[in-house]
Homo-oligomer: A and B are copies of this chain.
């Protein structure tokens, strides 16, 4: 059972959950109409969004704030029945992460000028929640001193699909023994560069987790993107203007809007993450998170085990339509069975599933995307 205590141990700390992104490479499980954060992709019985909230509850109690697309607001409310109506913002349209997190900051700053916010994507998977919470506690301690703080994941392999954080000198902050300065954020590297990063030991994966005082975030934003900061504060002072002002906000990621320029000015810190983390970007990544079935080595089933018969087969099978799925003589196969669409591919081609969704779009089959 997840911990759902209402006692929070970090006074004035709010978890902000941007719940967006279609998870295109997880089609047909994940769709624009039903994105991956709404799904149980790990067999826990809880969606990724619910898992994210469960993981944060011991730190924040009821201090949860969710920003999601208007079309998903009802689904989010239904999955998080304890969420107060004022703690959910429904974006009229997607404007990337900075407007989403910035609006949460502007709204929370009005409630508590000393509020610290931590933004955590709704669709990531974390292996050791207690270790995660330990890192967040350190990050909050550092954020209270005025830093924008990120959590940098220890790279498990030379990934080319993530950005990296170049770590600098240690910081001296009470309650945050592991905190370091951030030298810079670097873009997704090629394979060779990724290997070099790992050899130095000075690089961490950028998992897009940011912990910062709401007022500091808005101050930094006002410096780098003044129009955007003003727009967000205008909405916060009169939420009835959301639909009117939202479309004019700059569409930009928090990394580019604030984190990168702030790092260049020595305003960003990092707490090294000592927990396993994955953004569940595609079926290969999902497969790595699932345990093998008891009886068939190399076979992962996302759903009812009894619906799958695998003969001389390995890979991932998601039987999500209630039908029996039989695989015979295929290694590293990916079979995703849903009521209106079926995907058959391989782990190796998992990243290319996006191209299928593009084809469906081009051929007008948006009912399936």
Contacts and interface: CB of A to CB of B under 8 A. Distances in A.
Nearest to A336: B326
Contacts of A309: 356, 359-360
Interface residues of A, number: 33
Interface string A329-361: 110010101011111111011001101100110
B333 A344 contact: yes
A365 interface: yes
B325 A344 contact: yes
A330 B356 CA distance: 14
A355 B311 contact: yes
Contacts of A330: 330, 333, 344-346
Given A311-B355, A356-B311, A359-B309, A328 B342 contact: no
B356 A343 contact: no
A323 interface: yes
Contacts of A325: 341-342, 344
Contacts of A344: 325-328, 330, 333, 335, 344
A359 B295 CA distance: 15
A5 interface: no
A324 interface: yes
A368 interface: yes
A340 B325 CA distance: 9
A19 to B, nearest CB: 27
Nearest to A345: B328
A341 B327 contact: no
A323 B365 CA distance: 12
A353 B312 CA distance: 12
Contacts of A311: 352, 355-356, 359
A349 B327 CA distance: 11
A343 B310 CA distance: 10
A345 B330 CA distance: 6
A324 B353 contact: no
Nearest to A308: B342
A346 B311 CA distance: 12
A114 B328 CA distance: 51
A341 B324 contact: yes
A340 to B, nearest CB: 6
B327 A345 contact: yes
B340 A328 contact: no
- Which of A311, A329, A356 has most B Cβ within 10 Å? A329
A343 B325 CA distance: 6
Nearest to A368: B324
Given A309-B356, A323-B341, 11 more contacts: A28-B326, A324-B340, A324-B341, A325-B342, A326-B343, A328-B343, A328-B344, A328-B356, A329-B348, A330-B345, A335-B344
Interface of A: 28, 309, 311-312, 323-330, 333, 335, 337, 339-346, 348-349, 352-353, 355-356, 359-360, 365, 368
9 contacts: A309-B356, A309-B359, A311-B355, A323-B339, A324-B340, A324-B368, A327-B344, A328-B343, A335-B344
